Amino acid sequence: MAGEPGVPLLVKTGYGVVEIGTNTLIVFASFYFLFYTTEALGVPPLYAGLLFFCAKMFDVITDPLIGNFSDRSNTPMGRRRPFMLAGGIALGPCVALMFLAPFLGSDSWVPSALYFVGFTMATYLALTLISVPGGAMTAEMTEDYNERTTITAWRWGVGSVGMFIGGALAPLIVGQFSTGEVDPNGFRTAAIVMIPMFSLPVILGVFMMRKAPMRLAEHVPAVWVQARACFATPSFRMLLATYFLQVSFLTIVTSNLLFVLKYHFRLDDPVTANALFFLIFVVATMASMAFWTFVGARIGKKRGYIIAIVGLALCVSCIFLINAESIALLYPLMALMGWFFGGYQIFPWSMIPDSVTDGQVRTGLSLEGAFNGWFTTQQKIGIAFGPLVFGALLTFAGYEPTFYEDGVRVFPEQSDSAILMIRLCSSLLPAGVFLLSLLFIMRHQNTVTGPAKG
């Protein structure tokens, strides 16, 4: 309620510290999965995207189940934190095993691809243990409309440090242990070195949140009853559709950035260049959090969300206009993208708790874990769907992956059509889908409002 006491600052900070570990993984995987599998392991892009998509279908099962289990759980640590702690402990080692690449250099790319995808599933199961119960805590900690936005701003503001680690620092670590372009050994060693960067923030954040307001488990219905209650909530359906389109095609942008830097801008070291561009992006994102919190309080989350997406779409579309001679324009453009990305981070995640309350009004059920389980499921499917579409488009355009010849990697020249597709997938295509997604969010309505309609 509007008059309830605020959530302690240490709890809000701990919420963000948890996200440092998870964001490190999400950003690192978004940038490097397709690039690593095609350029280092030699997997054709269509198969790389398809394998990743199939692996992520595992989350369709695990995310709602973990949400249900956390709704039912009663422990001295509360309903959510035991799951988050277990996920944090497992996260770093799973990432290290994912990049171990024990079958590297064989005549076939299949063993390396299957090994990588298998440990991708294990890694994302650890992420599920953290993100689904963790996401449910926003609705559990407060019912105040604006306080939920503030909590989410702290969550993603502090958590943006993980974006810096995954997108800017990690490439530098990979480079330190690499002896050549997209060196699998560099990724292998860097993933081992970075184990604490994935796991320790989650573990520390969970203990910082020990005084978080929490509820004991009530009567929790079966998973299919929960699903029916979630999808019967109109505001949740509109939010799901909007965010699915956005996260799918934003993942195409991030998956494609290394390709566009290498093949369109002709940079000799796209990994290091990407680190610098992403550093600018992350700093701008962190700087924007207070602004978007203010915007949400003044004009409502929905309107703020629409403004952020329109701005992000315009910035992304401008990438198509930049060539190798004008690459310096990417620096201010990345800053603008980071600024609007801050709104993209805050608003949908602060609107989920409002949908939880909306659903509770409609059904009488309090299902924080279920709502966040299904939202996280579609987020992960979107993250997998983006590379699948990108891989298919690259294959259609004639992209040639790296291959091994007598144990030596060969990098083929790419055709003009493949390079054009890389440019379109980094700019005009995702920008158009971002604008298309607004058709859904404009229909979003719920029973939870703040001082301004949200």
**Ranges 97-111, 175-189, 205-219, 363-377: which has the least confidence:** 363-377
Taking residues 13-23, what's their average pLDDT?
92
Q: Tens digit of pLDDT for each residue in 338-361?
A: 999 999 988 988 888 888 777 777
Greater confidence (441 vs 175) lies with: 441
Give yes or no for residue 123 having a pLDDT over 90: yes
Give yes or no for residue 129 having a pLDDT over 90: yes
What is the pTM assigned to this prediction? 0.75
Give yes or no for residue 401 having a pLDDT over 80: no
Return the CATH number of the domain spanning residue range 10-212+221-441: 1.20.1250.20
Give yes or no for residue 143 having a pLDDT over 70: yes
Q: Tens digit of pLDDT for each residue in 68-95?
A: 788 877 788 878 899 999 999 999 999 9
- SS3 track for the chain: CCCCCCCCHHHHHHHHHHHHHHHHHHHHHHHHHHHHHHHCCCCCHHHHHHHHHHHHCHHHHHHHHHHHHHHHCCCCCCCCHHHHHHHHHHHHHHHHHHCCCCCCCCCCCHHHHHHHHHHHHHHHHHHHHHHHHHHHHHHHHCCCHHHHHHHHHHHHHHHHHHHHHHHHHHHHHHHHCCCCCCCHHHHHHHHHHCHHHHHHHHHHHHHHCCCCCCCCCCCCCCHHHHHHHHHCCHHHHHHHHHHHHHHHHHHHHHHHHHHHHHHHCCCCCHHHHHHHHHHHHHHHHHHHHHHHHHHHHHHCHHHHHHHHHHHHHHHHHHHHHCCHHHHHHHHHHHHHHHHHHHHHHHHHHHHHHHHHHHHHHHHCCCCHHHHHHHHHHHHHHHHHHHHHHHHHHHHHHCCCCCEEECCEEECCCCCHHHHHHHHHHCCHHHHHHHHHHHHHHCCCCCCCCCCCCC
Q: Tens digit of pLDDT for each residue in 270-300?
A: 877 878 888 898 889 989 989 999 999 899 9
404 pLDDT band, cuts 50/70/90, is: low
So what's the pLDDT on residue 219?
60
**Ranges 5-14, 25-34, 301-310: which has the least confidence:** 25-34
Give yes or no for residue 114 having a pLDDT over 50: yes
